[in-house]
Amino acid sequence: MKKFKIPSIPSTTNKCIRFPNDVIDNVEKAIQGTNCTFTAFVIEAVKIALENLEND
């Protein structure tokens, strides 16, 4: 069994970026009915993209 660790909230910086409307619509459809926010979805997607770049 994994040991429970109290999670730490990373420091954040507000960035204003523009998304194409179709991307916004697709993300909102993907997270509809979940407990995921638009921001959380985008952060996870960027993390995965960065990992993929490192692995290439």
Q: Tokens for 2, please give them.
A: 């994994």
| Residues sharing a CB contact under 8 Å with residue 31, sequence separation 6 or more, in sequence order | 37, 38, 41
- This prediction has a pTM of 0.78
∠ Cα 11 47 21 (to 5°): 95
Summarised one tens digit per residue, pLDDT across range 27-56 is 999 999 999 999 999 999 999 999 999 888
pLDDT the model gives residue 31 = 96
pLDDT the model gives residue 13 = 94
Domain ranges of the chain: 21-55
